[in-house]
Amino acid sequence: MALPSSKPKLPVAVEKPTPYTFDLGHLLAEDPNPVTLDRDNLEQSLAELARDGAQSLINQFLSTCPLNSTAEGVLLTLPAPSTRLPREKPVPQAKPPTKWGRFAAKKGIKPKTREQRRNLAFDEQTGEWQRKWGYKA
């Protein structure tokens, strides 16, 4: 019985004229080399380019990040991100206070605290929580 033909294994080390730059906190590998694509085999050349990028990122993880073995499995601790990402949208502007907000600030009215809004109070005589107002108060 003939064995199924297998593809040759690709090398683990990625050789590029200019090395990649990495930001492992964001899982980012940046390739500064110019992209040259073969127009006849576009899909294959894109797949090779993606494979090289992924392989170099994995190599960088395994060589620089600490590995911890736990009962759940092997954990890789990522470093803090070094690239600061911009916000998608600008910081929202502060909304102007409403008429009630201006009145409350002028009179010194503050919103009720969580304890003030609570309808239960502890009755020390019976040792139970009793309602302050409303049904069965």
- Segment 77-116, tens digit of pLDDT: 999 999 999 999 999 999 999 999 999 999 999 999 988 8
Torsion (CA) 124, 125, 128, 133 in degrees, nearest 10: -90
pTM of the model: 0.58
Torsion (CA) 70, 28, 60, 53 in degrees, nearest 10: 120
Q: Where are the domains of the chain?
A: 21-76
Q: pLDDT, tens digit, for every residue of 27-41?
A: 999 999 998 888 899
